[in-house]
Amino acid sequence: MTTTVRRDPLAFLGTELDALRQQGLYRHLRILEGEQRATTTFDHRKVVNLSSNNYLGLTTHPRLRQAALEATRQFGVGSGSVRTIAGTMEIHMELERRLAEFKNTEAVVVFQSGFAANAGTVAAVLSKDDVVISDELNHASIIDGCRLSKAAIKVFPHKDANAARQVLKGLPASQRKLLITDGVFSMDGDVGAVPALCNLAEEFGCIMMVDDAHASGVFGKNGRGTIDHFNMHGRVDIQVGTLSKAIGALGGYVAGSRTLIDFLYHRARPFLFSTSHPPAVAAACIAALDVLMEEPAIIDRLWENTRFFKSGLQALGFNTGLSESPITPVIAGEGALAMKLSDRLFEEGVFAQGIAYPTVARDKARVRTIVTAAHTRDELQFALDVFAKVGRELGIV
């Protein structure tokens, strides 16, 4: 009898991880012990938290918490099915109606996440004979949606509408085209070329799509996003938003025409093949919309904090790139240096996640900071003092 020693067919993954360790890019998941707050405890250390997307502090807002608790008592913890079978509850429909009103569109469909909304929508709307014209820094979920659709992918340099125009000029007039940009770019915090791209979409007959994941709750009246900020209502065919960031809970959505939403109800694969939100999540999101409408001062506070912190970093001499939003990168250069900066900040009581290649370009590694409405001036000043100390220590400023 021969015994065969089974070789681990996944051993190559270990080799790849070793390479990350050697480059100083291996990351442990930081564990949050408690609530997602402006000052909180990760990995047993109390830190000022500059790493969450909890822009308005809504993850712990009493109105959202109460709404989630009540929905759980009334409707249980799960929906029990995908939306298209038995998992469409009245509360899901109410959330979609409220979001459509908020976004000023005919209809909205809610997905399990912003990622699913982007990937599921692009893949459903386009097919192999079509073409997508996409900003080079668009989010991974857009890129994956493009790949899944099998459409041709034409990438234009970041925010360069003239370059996008050249691409469009070279395409057959009869070909279906999707022009797509993030509203706010997640790694740089700058705002997409929405008005210029809307003009192009009209000139060349493109479907216009904006991913407003980081803009909803942040830009525009009551946080309606970049389309409202630029007054582009009616000119963007597909608006994506997330419920996972400023809204404080979980999910994503697409806002657009009734026809678009009906089509996605029938063809968007994450909608068709993945269970819908627990009622508590839908209820919390509805309560978040109430907060945006009734407590808009919370958004003003976010922007006051943003201005204070961004100008503080710049005064210290840090390279904050082109940020125009509460996302402020502190660009260090090489990946290992950015990770060292992040680690030293953490030891000194500030959590700003290091981000390196392949998420950003190899020479643009950074720590990414995000202030929220919930940060106090003292917390932000403390963070600036720590940045000054560690930045000098590492020769960054």
Ligand X SMILES: Cc1ncc(COP(=O)(O)O)c(C=O)c1O
Least distance between ligand X and beta carbon 12 (Å): 28
Give the binding range for ligand X (CB under 6 A) out of 60-68, 114-122, 229-237, 387-395. 114-122
Distance in angstroms (rounded) separating the CA atoms of residues 388 and 210:
36
> Could you say whether residue 141 binds ligand X (CB under 6 A)?
yes
**Region of residue 234 (phi > 0: left; psi between -120 and 50: alpha; otherwise: beta):** left
For this structure, is 214 an active site residue? yes
Least distance between ligand X and beta carbon 242 (Å): 4
Least distance between ligand X and beta carbon 307 (Å): 22
Structure tokens at 340: 């060292």
Q: Which of 182, 237, 348, 379 binds ligand X (CB under 6 A)?
A: 182
Concatenating the DSSP letter of every residue in 308-331 gives HHHHHHHHTT---TT--SSEEEEE
Determine which one of 92, 177, 214, 310 is catalytic. 214
Dmax of the chain from CA atoms?
A: 77
Nearer to ligand X, 277 or 301 (CB): 277
Site string for ligand X, 237-256 (x = CB under 6 A): -----x-x-------x----
Q: Which of 92, 139, 224, 340 binds ligand X (CB under 6 A)?
A: 139
What residue is closest to ligand X based on CB?
Answer: 114
| Nearest CA-CA partner of 363 in 337, 391, 389 | 337
Q: Which of 49, 186, 216, 323 binds ligand X (CB under 6 A)?
A: 186
Structure tokens at 219: 């830009």
Cβ–Cβ under 8 Å, residues 282 and 91 = yes
For this structure, is 229 an active site residue? no
For this structure, is 245 an active site residue? yes
Structure tokens at 127: 């097919």
Question: Helix (H, G, I), strand (E, B), or coil: what is residue 216?
Answer: coil
With a CB cutoff of 8 Å and minimum separation 6, the contacts of 7 are none
> Could you say whether residue 113 binds ligand X (CB under 6 A)?
yes
> Could you say whether residue 59 binds ligand X (CB under 6 A)?
no
In what helix (H) or strand (E) does residue 276 lie, and over which residues does it extend?
none
Q: Is 292 exposed, middle or buried (0-12, 13-18, 19+ CB in 10 A)?
A: buried
CA distances from 270 to 90, 154, 195 (A): 20, 25, 30
Nearer to ligand X, 183 or 312 (CB): 183
Structure tokens at 201: 């979409």
Site string for ligand X, 203-242 (x = CB under 6 A): --------x-xx---------------------------x
Distance in angstroms (rounded) separating the CA atoms of residues 99 and 210:
16
Q: Which of 118, 226, 276, 306 binds ligand X (CB under 6 A)?
A: 118
Q: Which of 55, 115, 309, 318 binds ligand X (CB under 6 A)?
A: 115
Determine which one of 134, 141, 149, 186 is catalytic. 186
Kindly list the residues in this chain that would bind ligand X in the complex (CB under 6 A).
113-115, 118, 139, 141, 182, 186, 211, 213-214, 242, 244, 252
Q: Which residues have a catalytic role annotated?
A: 186, 214, 245
